[in-house]
A and B are shown apart, each in its own frame.
Chain A
Amino acid sequence: MSSYNDNLEKKFAAGEAVIAPAGFSLQSNTKESHAMSMANKRKVNLGAFLDKIFRNSTMLFAFLVFSTMFAIMATLFIASLPALKVFGSSFFLSDAWNPVTVQFGGLVPIFGTLVTAAIAMLIGIPVSFGIAMFITELSPTWLKRPLGIAIELLAGIPSIIYGMWGLFVFAPFFADHGQPWINDHLGSLPFIGVIFEGPAMGIGMLTAGIILAIMVIPFTSSVMRDVFEVVPPMLKESAYGLGATTWEVLRNIVLPYTKIGVVGGIMLGLGRALGETMAVTFVIGNAHELSASLLMPGNTISSALANEFTEAVGDVYTSSLITLGMTLFVITFIVLAFAKLLLIRLSAREGKQS
């Protein structure tokens, strides 16, 4: 911090002439002071005027950002009206998807979106938690930074790369090594067996969910790591001093203290998983069929859009796809707003306690 400040001050000193307008700097000569004060007044007026312009234009742009959200909502709503007029609210409950007879329903993609996101969360949450635990509590100091960078690299890889890797490498691998095992061991279970039964094709909702999990891990784990790190060291040290183990400190001290933030991080990850497009489009299989088995191909809102939107003919078809997009936006808005509110609450509490 201090070296940063020093550096600033050097820059500041160098730029001093620019910062302080000439008329303001020194007024040692009394003879000139009258003429100068006139000039100063004009300068002050000009300065105040420019201030107003600057201030108001920043406000205008802030308002622009603010209104983007409503512009998106309104535009999508208007564009989805043709479909909603034809199908009404039954659009969301119908599993029809037939461009030829112009019958559309959103159930299959909505279901697929929710299921793949749920799988991603089921895998992503424990893994993110483990990573955050390792980085904050267990890792030797020298390993923390490289590990953080590695996790960030995972976040930096474009989603289309996940998709390609999923289609060409992971799906065949999973079809050979993962799915037969799942079929054999989980497919024969009573009641839930049907979820895990199906041909070992590689692509499908489970594959999409696993890839989504990998994509979500960096986001969720970095939020968890950040909130774990705000736990006052004194609390943790007290518990360690009483003889608690690492796990007990995490379970009984860190987690209760940070649970709002952890849920916020999970919600943030969920928001990502729901809206992710490219990685899912590659491996979901793009099938408009409702099936109980996770090994079967399905569809998500985003992959339906990516696959079909540019080829959609007719107002109702296009509008149905836009209705799906609006649904996705509303769902993610709710999830992300919830995440944001939780994180705001956490930081407010943190402010009070410290």
Chain B
Amino acid sequence: MSNFNNRRYMGRRLTNAFTIGLSVVTVVFALTFLVWILWTLFSNGLSYLSMDVFTKNTPPPGNSGGLLNAITGSLYMVTVATLIGTPIGIMAGTYLAEFGKDGWLAPATRFINDILLSAPSIVIGLFVYEVAVHRIGHFSGWAGAIALSLIVLPVVVRTTENMLQLVPSNLREAASALGSPQWKVVTMVVYRAARAGMLTGLLLAVARISGETAPLLFTALNNQFFSADLNGPMASLAVVIFQFAMSPYEDWQHLAWAGALLITLFVLGLNILARFVFRPGPASN
């Protein structure tokens, strides 16, 4: 009997040890890829990074050049996209958190917004192509910025709603009791209280669109030359990386690695900034 129990016990322990072992293996598996990707990126990117990358425009194949037009194009479109997407997102998020207590609009919007959050970005590119490129007849930086703003939007809506809900309602009640109208309560009390969290969401949204390639392919297209005109096709770092990396030319591939390092540093930097600098405190964890 005791022998049987013993065997049973050993069996359970073995199963346990086995699954714990597997669990550790999965963690190592994921971390290996993280290190592998980052190491590839840094070792390749650093060796091709030079001042030229920041001061010269994208070259024709076989010539030396940089990524100046792509970097500025990305900055333009990301800025415009953020400026379009953020106010709309904050307003919509405010409705969800503050006013949408009853009625069908708030739950329905929340549901749709969560789907938009993970919707394939290439489909958003297609949509904007149909709306803003096909009708007008040419690719443009505006179309690219609109496509990116559609990706910013759900992120901002989501974080705004979550952060406003974290604000204790006694703050709202206190302000209302002093007689301030609701718009003042929201804009001057609730927004201030939720500022850090909302900023975090915004940073994460910017980080997300900075690396986006798919929605820009059919909207902003690409531009070999420097352009500050949002009405025309515009280069962006991500699209240039895509084009250069897929090309057979070594110079282009080297520039693609340098660009890839820049874009990753920027995106991860924003992520880290969002996590550490603007951490609103233990409440949000």
Residues of A within 8 A of B (CB): 1, 3-5, 7-8, 11-12, 15, 18-21, 24-25, 47-48, 50-51, 53-55, 57-66, 68-69, 71-72, 75-76, 78-79, 126-131, 133-134, 138, 147, 149-154, 156-165, 167-169, 214, 217-218, 221, 245-248, 250, 268, 271-272, 274-278, 281-282, 302, 305-306, 309-310, 322, 325-326, 328-329, 332-333, 336-337, 340
Contacts and interface: CB of A to CB of B under 8 A. Distances in A.
Contacts of B227: none
A76 B16 contact: no
Contacts of B44: 168
Smallest CB-CB A-B distances: 9 pairs: A158-B211, A275-B120, A130-B26, A47-B181, A24-B179, A54-B183, A58-B95, A245-B16, A61-B91
Contacts of A272: 118
B183 A165 contact: no
A65 B126 contact: no
Contacts, number: 303
20 contacts: A4-B281, A4-B283, A5-B168, A19-B178, A24-B178, A24-B180, A47-B181, A58-B99, A65-B113, A68-B112, A72-B124, A78-B130, A133-B19, A134-B26, A159-B213, A162-B37, A168-B253, A214-B33, A275-B120, A332-B118
A138 B19 CA distance: 11
A20 B127 CA distance: 46
Nearest to B263: A158
A58 B246 CA distance: 44
Interface stretch (B54-62, B65-73, B267-275): B267-275
Contacts of A53: 183
Contacts of B19: 133, 246-247, 250
A65 B116 contact: yes
B99 A154 contact: no
Interface of B: 12-13, 15-16, 19-20, 22-27, 29-31, 33-34, 36-38, 40-41, 44, 88-89, 91-92, 94-96, 98-100, 105-106, 108-109, 111-116, 118-124, 126-127, 129-131, 134, 150, 153-154, 157, 168, 171, 174-175, 178-189, 192-193, 207, 210-214, 217-218, 221, 238, 241-242, 245-246, 253, 256-257, 260, 263-264, 267-268, 271, 275, 280-283
Nearest to B96: A62
B109 A55 contact: no
Given A57-B91, A59-B105, A65-B116, A153 B34 contact: yes
Q: Report which residue of B120, B131, B171, B185 has the largest number of chain A beta carbons within 10 angstroms of its beta carbon.
A: B120
Contacts of B129: 309
A337 B115 contact: yes
Contacts of A268: 118
A37 to B, nearest CB: 13
Nearest to B276: A149
Contacts of A274: 120
Most chain A CB neighbours (cut-off 10 Å) among B126, B188, B189:
B126
Contacts of B109: 62-63, 65-66
B123 A325 contact: yes
Given A50-B181, A158-B238, A246-B20, A275 B171 contact: no
B173 to A, nearest CB: 12
Given A59-B99, A153-B268, 11 more contacts: A12-B189, A19-B178, A51-B181, A58-B91, A62-B92, A62-B96, A76-B130, A134-B23, A134-B27, A246-B20, A278-B214
A305 B121 CA distance: 12
A245 B267 contact: no
Majority DSSP secondary structure for residues of A touching B = helix
B176 to A, nearest CB: 10
A302 B113 contact: no
Contact of B281 (A3, A57, A138, A169): A3
B41 A165 contact: yes
Given A59-B105, A329-B120, A131 B13 contact: no
B119 A130 contact: no
A130 B88 contact: no
Contacts of B124: 72
Given A20-B180, A55-B99, A130-B27, A68 B189 contact: no
Nearest to A59: B95
Residue in B36, B127, B210, B217 whose Cβ sees the most chain A Cβ within 10 Å = B127
B178 A127 contact: no
Nearest to B211: A158
